[in-house]
Structure formats: structure tokens, C-alpha cells
Amino acid sequence: MFHSVREAWYSASKHNMADVKELIPEFFYLPELLLNSNNFDLGCKQNGTKLGEVILPPWAKGDPREFIRVHREALECDFVSAHLHEWIDLIFGYKQQGPAAVEAVNVFHHLFYEGQVDIYNINDPLKETATIGFINNFGQIPKQLFKKPHPPKRVRSRINGEMSGISVPPGITNDKIFFHHLDNLKPSLAPVKELKELVGQIVCTDKGILAVEMNKVLLPPTWNKTFAWGYADLSCRLGAYESDKAVIVYECLSEWGQVLCAICPNPKLVITGGTSTVVCVWEMGTSKEKAKMLTLKQALLGHTETVTCLTASLAYHIIVSGSCDRTCIIWDLNKLSFVTQLRGHRAPVSALCINELTGDIVSCAGTYIHVWSINGNPIVSVNTFTGRSQQILCCCMSEMNEWDTQNVIVTGHSDGVVRFWRMEFLQVLETPAPEPVEMLEMQED
């Protein structure tokens, strides 16, 4: 039973020559691997130690996420990339068998190797059972793919940016995101777009920055159409980005009360929420015959009060809704079903976002920021209150490499301040602004 990282390391590297282990991919992306979240009874060791969650090394500070993050950072570093071919030589290459394997101390029991035993020609049932059990318990050596040394990977050093085909000294990236270079951050000479009302959505594309008013969202992937709501007759309307004229009016939504929020995760889906407390998933007609139709695909029930905000992730196929009932709900975007509920907010949920790389979810309520894993486990919560009115109105996340500690959460507040947050640090930047910040968007560049 895998119980302790320290014990597993010493067993495989020093104390037990028959203990051969290789880390599975989950060691580099799945913190839940190290937890007994379901409280299974895993029994006890011979010395009476109760088995449960994996004991981590001291440098992880008891945090499975930090353990996995550091593992991933090490895996992706220049040093590992520069020596990757040596691992290939041992596992799949010329050092797997023969004199090169002996020299590399890479020789195992003969039953581990492909083609060394034909279990169908073993006449002794006991020997056959023992051989199969041996292979099942200890595994097999992969098929040898290369008979010559594998060429090294061309590595771009994070230190000087130069390409190299040989060993590169380990280093960390010196690239920093924009809030480390505020002197170079200047406003544009002209407005990106002049709107008649408050900004509701900002979209960064290869061709430029698009923006629409409150109660409007742009439809991907062309972003040349808008879906709008908030009209007195409770209808919703499809329009063109460059014009205020409605192309299609959808009146079928009126029976679901007043729409307060909507998202369009793809060109065929519109998801709405509002006073009915129901999250409605609508299918938009794409053909000429059905272009004017908006068909209810599923009504998602779970909130007890008004739905205030919505977000979705195409990478993880989830929808997250926030409500005045002080909860968020994660929904399966494919099955259109309930997944889990996020509790613990101290006020109605005002803003949501999902990190498309990690699946982490940020929910904002009042002056509080809450961060959750994609499985709904709370990661951190912080009160941003500093003595003045600063309700959080919008939020977004940077999406650099998952293991990069420079990743930030950005929040826009009613006091007109944009604030940047990192998991291990508190406030990074606070610059006065004359009006409340109600919309944020981050771009890779």
C-alpha cells in the first residue's frame, strides 16, 4: 500500500533492490491521488499505523496541490528536457537490453522481457500460474523501440532563450506577466470601443479587442453576433456586433422570468439564468430554416434563489452557476446534470471564472474571493475588504503554465480598483480608478 512518499522513495532507491517503481502520470497533475477524500477504510500497517492519506515530504507543507505543482514544475524544467533522451534509452532504447543495459545497471528478471516466455507452452499448471502471477504483480519491460542512442531534445533555455541540443543547466523562467512591468503599461491613445452603457463583456481576438454593453454577450467563434437580454417584455434578441438592430427576437424565454445573466459557450448553445432560479440551456438553430428558433434543451434545477452569474469551460465540459442563495453549482455540460454544490459564501455570488488549464474555479461574493478545485474542494478563501466599499464585480484568471507561481487572479471592484492576487501572496497591485470596474479580460500576450 502506497502510504508515504519518503518510505516509497527509500524503498525503491536504497533499501529494496527488488522494488522497481515509476511514477504514473497522475503524480504530475492530480492532487486528489494523494487524498482519501471518500474516507475509505484502508486498514492498518503491521505496526498499527492507520492507512489514509499519503504522507508528504516536509517541503510540500502538507499540501497535495503544492506537491503536485512542484513535481510538474520539475518535470517541465530545462534540465529534465535536456536529459529526456537518456530516460528513453533506458526504457525503450538501446540500454534496455544487452551489454549497454548491464553497464547502466538496468537488468531485471528474465520474465520481465518481451518474448522470454510463452505461457501457452508451459505444461506444468503450477508453473504457469506462478509465471502469470509473477508478471501480473511485477509488470513487464516495454517493447524495445530503438537500438541506437536516442537524439536529445532541442531545448530552448529559459535563461537566455538560446536553442541547444545538449545538456542545458537547470533554470527558471525570467518571463513575467504585465503587472511586473507597470512602467510599460500605458492606456491606448483612443478608446477600443465607445459604448452607450456599462461594459458587459470584453473579448480579445487575433484581430483586436471587442466589447459589448451589459446584458449582452458575443457568440463564438466569429464574435460578430450578440445575444442580448434585459428587455421590458422579457424577450432576448440576436443582433449584429456592429449594429444595435435586432435580427431575431426570442419571446420563448419570457415564461422563465427575467433573465439576469447568459453565456454562449459555443455557437449552438445559450445558457441563461435569472429570477426563476433555474439555469436554462437553450439550443440555437444554425440552419436557415431553424435560425429563428431557440429550443429549450434542459432546465437545470438546484438553486433556491435568483441566479446571478454563469460561466462555462469547454476544456472541462462544465457549467458553473452562482446565486443569491449564496451557493454555486457545478453542472456537467455534456450530460446537462448536477455535479456538486459549492457552499460557504457570505453574500450573493457576484462573479465567476474557470481556469481552462487547471479547472480551478473562482467565485466572488461581496468582498470575498473563493477558489475551488474542479471537484468542488475548497482551496482558499480571502476577504479583500480594506475599509472602504469594494464589492467584487468581476474576476478572471491568468492561464500561464499550471505550475507557474506567477499565475494571478484579477478582480475588479466597486471602488474602481483592479486587484491582483496569488495563492501564496496577498494584494500585489492597487491603482486608483474613478469608476467601478465591472468587466475584465486577460490575453496571453
CATH number at residue 37: 1.10.1540.10
Cα distances from 188 to residues 264, 285, 395, in angstroms, run: 29, 38, 22
Q: Please give the model's pTM, rounded to 2 decimal places.
A: 0.80
> What is the band of 405 on the pLDDT scale with cuts at 50, 70, 90?
confident
Tally of CB atoms within 10 A around 381: 15
Buried b (16+ CB within 10 A) or exposed e, 116-145: ebeeeeeeeeeeeeebeeeeeeeeebeebe
Mean pLDDT for the stretch of residues 161-182: 50
Query: Residue with C-alpha cell 518535470?
Result: 75
Strand intervals (E) in 359-444: 361-365, 368-372, 378-383, 392-397, 409-413, 418-421, 430-431
Name the residue among 123, 41, 39, 29 with its Cα closest to residue 71: 29
Cα distances from 346 to residues 75, 115, 369, 422, in angstroms, run: 39, 64, 10, 21
Q: Does some domain include residue 248?
A: no
Residue 332 maps to which CATH number?
Answer: 2.130.10.10
Name the residue among 348, 346, 297 with its Cα closest to residue 322: 348
Number of domains in the chain: 2
Q: Does some domain include residue 254?
A: no
176-181-184-190 Cα dihedral, nearest 10 degrees: 80
**pLDDT digits over 332-385, tens only?**
999 999 999 999 999 999 999 999 999 999 999 999 999 999 999 998 899 988
**Residue where a domain terminates, one of 138, 156, 187:** 138
Q: What is the pLDDT of residue 156?
A: 67
**Residue where a domain terminates, one of 107, 138, 169:** 138
Q: Does some domain include residue 326?
A: yes
| Residue 39 one-letter amino acid | N
Name the residue among 65, 61, 66, 55 with its Cα closest to residue 4: 55
R_g over Cα of the chain: 28
Q: Does some domain include residue 124?
A: yes
Q: What is the pLDDT of residue 436?
A: 65
338 CB-near residues (< 8 Å, 6+ apart) = 300, 302, 329, 331, 332
Q: Does some domain include residue 340?
A: yes
Q: What is the pLDDT of residue 390?
A: 84
Range of the domain at 313: 302-426
The CA-CA-CA angle for residues 275, 277, 278, to 5°, reads 115
Q: What is the pLDDT of residue 435?
A: 61
